[in-house]
C-alpha cells in the first residue's frame, strides 16, 4: 500500500493551491467524503473540519477526501454537475460514508442540498445500499440535531478525537461481517455519544408539543456527549493551508475548549464544559511548525484570555519572530502586556463584547463586567496605539426595555470620550458596532425564553442607526432580523422543521416553504415554555441538569423584576 503523500490539489471548478492535503489510494480502504456545507474559503479555515480530516486520515484503513458546497449554488444559480471531492475528483455518491461538519444552524438546509446535488436521496428513509451512510457532527448538532434528523443516519455528539475511533471500530466489524444498514446503525447506537434518529419515536400532543421521545429496540434513552478530558493527544491546527482561506495569512491553533464564564446566553460556555486548556508543552511544537509556514499565529478558544499560559505563548511566538492574533478578548482580562503583544503584532483593530448597554441587562445576561471595566479596557486599547475598535451588542434580549437600547448609545459615547481622554483629544480611527438580534440557544438558561418580534427588532436597530448616522467614525452593521428568526426556528425546532429544511434545500424560498408546510414559526420562536415541557433536545446529556439551567433562568428573572 502506498503511504499518504502531501500535494497541491485543485478542486473541479476553480484553481486552488493547497499545502497539506492528504492523498491516499482507495484500495481496500473505507472511503469517507468529509463535507463542509458552505463555501471553500470558510470551510478550509474551520479547525474542527480540518481536525476531523486529520483524524480520519490517520487511520491506515480509511481514505478521507473533502468536498464543499458549490459557489454557484450559494449565489442562487443552478449548480453545474455533481459535487466532487478535491483530492480525487470523485462524486460523493461513490463513497461509503458522507460525513458533514456543521458549525452553524443556517447551514442546515445545505446538508440535504449537497446530497441532492450529488445524486444521493436526501431523506435517510429513502437511502439503502449502495447509497452512502450520512454522518453529521459539529457544535450545532450537539445542541439540537432534530431539524436535520430526517436526512441523517448518525449524529456524533461530542469531541471527535474520542468518538471517531469507537465509531470506526464498530463500522469496521459490521462492514467485515456484511451487516445490513439497519443492523449497522443498531450496533452503532450502542457507542456513547452516537445518536441514530431512526431509532427514536416522537409523539406530539394536540397543542403540537412533544408528548414523548422514546427509543426503539436497544437504543439508549439519553445520548451522553463524549468528552475528551485529555487534550494532549492532538492539537487542532491549520494542517492544510490555502491562499483562498478566510484566514489565509494565519496559522490557526486551538489552545483550549470551553469557557468558565457561562454567560446565560452563550451555548459554548455550557455545552463545552468543563473548560480545558492545552498545555504549553503540547502547543509549542505545533506553533513552531506553524511559524515555518505563516508569520502570524491565530490562537483559538472560547476564552483565550483565560488560558493560564497565554502570556508565555505570546512571548514564545514573538521571540520566534512571529506575530499573534486572538479569536476573542475578555474585557476584564485585558492587560497592558497582552495589548503590547497585539500592537507589536500589527493589530490595528480589536473586538470587545459588552453585549448590552446597561448594567441591568449585563447582570441579567450574567456577563460579570461593569461599565468601569469596559471603559478601563477601552482606555488600555487606546493607550496601546490600536486605532480601531469593534464592539458587539445584542438587541431583543430577555426582559430588555427601550432604556436598555438607548443605553447602547450612551455607553458608546462614554467609550469615545474615554478614548479622547487617553489620547489627549485624539480618537479611534473607526468604531464598528455589530448589532445582532438575540437568538435563544438550547442548553442555556435562556432556552425557554421567547425570541423577540421581528418588527420590534427592526425598530430597535433603526433607532440605533439613526442616532449614529451622523458620526462618520462609527460604522453600524447588523444581522437582518428575518434571518435571526430563521435561526431561532432552526435552533429550537423539532424534526417536523425538517420538512421546511428539505424544501429550502431544493431552492424554495423560506417564506414559501413555511407556507407550503403550514408550519407555525411562532410556535417555535415566540412561545413561552415551561420546565415540564419536553424540549426537542432533552434526550442529549451534557453532564448537567435541566433543573440547574431553570434555576439560573429564574435567577435572571428575579434580577429583571428587581429593577
Beta bridge partners of 276: 257
* Segment 393-409, tens digit of pLDDT: 999 999 999 999 999 99
Residue 373, all three cell numbers: 471595566
Residue 221 lies in a domain: no
Contact in structure between 450 and 528 (CB atoms under 8 Å): yes
Residue 79 has what pLDDT? 66
Residue 291 sits in the same domain as residue 190 = no
Residue 243 sits in the same domain as residue 197 = no
Burial of 295 (0-12, 13-18, 19+ CB in 10 A): middle
Residue 356 sits in the same domain as residue 454 = yes
Residue 226 lies in a domain: no
Residue 316 has what pLDDT? 98
Whose cell is 460523493? That residue is: 92
In SS3 terms, 450-510 reads as: CCCCHHHHHHHHHHHHHHHCCCCCEEEEECCHHHHHHHHHHHHCCHHHHHHHHHHHCCCCH
To the nearest 10 degrees (0 to 180), the angle between helices 336-344 and 371-383 is 40
Q: Which of 159, 188, 203 is the last residue before a domain boundary?
A: 203
What is d(CA 433, CA 351) in angstroms, rounded to the nearest whole number? Answer: 10
Contact in structure between 417 and 379 (CB atoms under 8 Å): no
Task: Return the sign of the alpha-carbon dihedral for residues 178, 182, 186, 191.
Answer: positive
pTM of the model: 0.94
Contact in structure between 50 and 252 (CB atoms under 8 Å): no
What is the spatial order of strands in the sheet that 250-254 belongs to?
250-254, 296-300, 323-326
Pair type for strands 30-36 and 97-101: parallel
Residue 165 sits in the same domain as residue 304 = no
Residue 125, all three cell numbers: 428513509
Residue 254 sits in the same domain as residue 370 = yes
Residue 296 sits in the same domain as residue 177 = no
CA 137 vs. chain centroid, Å, equals: 11
What is d(CA 329, CA 24) in angstroms, rounded to the nearest whole number? Answer: 40
CATH code for position 188 = 3.40.50.280
Residue 193 sits in the same domain as residue 235 = no
Residue 492 lies in a domain: yes
Residue 459 sits in the same domain as residue 353 = yes
Residue 496, all three cell numbers: 417536523
> Into how many domains does the chain fold?
2
What is d(CA 372, CA 378) in angstroms, rounded to the nearest whole number? Answer: 10
Q: Which of 203, 222, 239 is the last residue before a domain boundary?
A: 203
Residue 345 sits in the same domain as residue 282 = yes
Residue 130 sits in the same domain as residue 276 = no
What is d(CA 550, CA 385) in angstroms, rounded to the nearest whole number? Answer: 44
Residue 222 lies in a domain: no
Residue 337 sits in the same domain as residue 396 = yes
CATH code for position 249 = 3.80.30.20
Residue 149 sits in the same domain as residue 45 = yes
Chunked mean pLDDT (size 10), the chain, 563 residues: 38 62 94 97 96 97 96 77 92 98 96 96 97 96 96 97 97 97 98 98 97 95 94 92 94 95 94 94 97 97 94 97 88 91 94 96 97 96 94 98 97 95 90 97 98 98 96 94 98 98 96 95 96 98 97 98 86
Residue 408 lies in a domain: yes
What is d(CA 280, CA 299) in angstroms, rounded to the nearest whole number? Answer: 12
| Domain carrying residue 406 | 231-562
Question: If you ran DSSP here, which 8-state letter would residue 166 be given?
Answer: H
* Segment 460-502, tens digit of pLDDT: 999 999 999 989 899 999 999 999 999 999 999 999 999 999 9
Residue 127 lies in a domain: yes
Residue 215 lies in a domain: no
Whose cell is 419515536? That residue is: 201
What is d(CA 193, CA 227) in angstroms, rounded to the nearest whole number? Answer: 9
Task: Return the sign of the alpha-carbon dihedral for residues 146, 147, 150, 156.
Answer: negative
Contact in structure between 549 and 267 (CB atoms under 8 Å): no
Residue 16 has what pLDDT? 57
Residue 26 lies in a domain: yes
Amino acid at each position: 500500500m502506498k503511504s499518504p503523500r502531501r500535494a497541491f490539489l485543485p478542486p473541479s471548478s476553480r484553481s486552488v493551491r493547497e499545502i497539506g492535503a492528504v492523498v491516499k489510494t482507495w484500495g481496500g480502504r473505507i472511503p469517507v467524503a468529509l463535507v463542509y456545507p458552505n463555501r471553500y474559503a470558510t470551510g478550509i479555515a474551520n479547525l474542527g473540519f480540518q481536525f476531523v480530516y486529520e483524524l480520519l486520515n490517520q487511520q491506515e484503513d480509511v481514505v478521507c477526501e473533502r468536498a464543499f458546497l458549490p459557489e454557484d449554488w450559494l449565489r442562487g444559480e443552478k449548480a453545474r454537475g455533481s459535487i466532487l471531492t478535491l483530492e480525487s475528483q470523485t462524486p460523493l455518491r461513490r463513497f461509503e460514508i458522507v460525513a458533514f461538519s456543521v458549525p452553524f444552524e443556517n447551514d442546515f438546509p445545505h446538508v440535504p442540498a449537497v446530497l441532492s446535488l450529488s445524486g444521493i436521496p436526501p431523506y435517510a428513509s429513502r437511502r439503502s445500499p449502495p447509497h452512502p451512510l450520512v454522518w453529521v457532527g459539529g457544535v450545532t448538532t450537539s445542541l439540537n440535531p432534530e431539524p436535520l434528523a430526517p436526512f441523517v443516519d448518525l449524529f456524533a455528539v461530542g469531541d471527535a478525537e474520542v468518538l471517531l475511533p469507537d465509531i470506526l471500530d464498530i463500522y469496521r466489524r459490521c462492514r467485515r461481517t456484511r451487516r445490513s444498514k439497519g443492523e449497522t446503525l443498531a450496533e452503532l447506537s450502542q457507542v456513547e455519544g452516537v445518536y441514530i434518529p431512526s431509532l427514536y419515536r416522537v409523539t406530539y400532543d394536540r397543542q403540537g408539543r412533544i408528548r414523548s421521545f422514546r427509543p426503539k429496540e436497544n437504543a439508549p434513552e439519553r445520548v451522553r456527549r463524549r468528552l475528551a478530558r485529555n487534550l494532549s493527544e492532538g492539537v487542532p491546527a491549520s494542517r492544510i493551508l490555502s491562499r483562498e482561506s478566510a484566514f489565509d495569512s494565519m496559522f490557526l491553533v486551538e489552545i483550549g475548549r470551553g469557557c468558565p464564564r457561562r454567560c446565560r446566553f452563550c451555548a459554548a460556555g455550557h455545552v463545552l464544559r468543563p473548560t480545558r486548556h492545552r498545555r504549553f508543552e503540547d502547543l509549542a511544537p505545533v506553533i513552531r511548525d506553524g511559524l515555518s509556514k505563516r508569520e502570524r499565529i491565530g490562537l483559538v478558544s472560547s476564552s483565550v484570555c483565560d488560558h493560564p499560559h497565554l502570556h508565555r505563548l505570546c512571548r514564545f511566538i514573538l521571540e520566534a519572530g512571529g506575530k499573534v492574533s486572538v479569536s476573542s478578548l475578555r474585557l476584564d482580562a485585558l492587560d497592558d502586556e497582552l495589548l503590547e503583544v497585539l500592537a507589536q503584532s500589527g493589530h490595528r483593530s480589536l473586538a470587545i463584547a459588552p453585549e448590552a448597554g446597561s448594567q441591568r441587562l449585563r447582570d441579567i445576561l450574567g456577563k460579570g463586567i461593569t461599565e468601569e471595566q469596559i471603559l478601563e479596557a477601552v482606555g488600555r486599547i487606546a493607550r496601546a496605539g490600536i486605532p480601531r475598535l469593534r464592539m458587539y451588542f445584542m438587541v431583543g434580549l430577555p426582559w430588555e426595555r427601550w432604556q436598555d437600547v438607548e443605553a447602547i448609545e450612551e455607553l458608546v459615547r462614554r467609550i469615545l470620550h474615554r478614548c479622547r481622554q487617553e489620547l489627549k483629544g485624539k480618537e479611534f480611527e473607526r468604531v464598528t458596532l455589530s448589532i445582532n438580534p438575540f437568538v435563544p440557544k438550547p442548553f442555556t438558561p435562556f432556552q425557554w425564553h421567547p425570541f423577540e418580534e421581528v418588527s420590534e427588532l427592526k425598530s430597535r436597530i433603526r433607532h440605533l442607526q439613526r442616532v449614529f448616522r451622523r458620526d462618520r467614525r462609527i460604522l453600524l452593521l447588523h444581522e437582518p432580523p428575518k434571518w435571526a428568526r430563521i435561526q431561532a426556528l432552526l435552533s429550537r425546532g423539532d424534526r417536523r422543521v425538517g420538512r421546511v429544511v428539505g424544501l429550502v434545500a431544493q431552492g424554495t424560498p423560506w417564506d414559501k416553504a413555511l407556507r407550503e408546510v403550514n408550519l407555525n414559526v411562532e410556535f417555535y420562536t415566540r412561545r413561552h415554555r415551561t420546565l415540564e415541557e419536553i424540549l426537542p433536545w432533552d434526550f442529549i446529556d451534557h453532564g448537567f441538569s435541566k433543573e440547574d439551567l431553570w434555576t439560573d433562568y429564574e435567577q435572571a428573572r428575579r434580577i429583571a423584576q428587581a429593577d
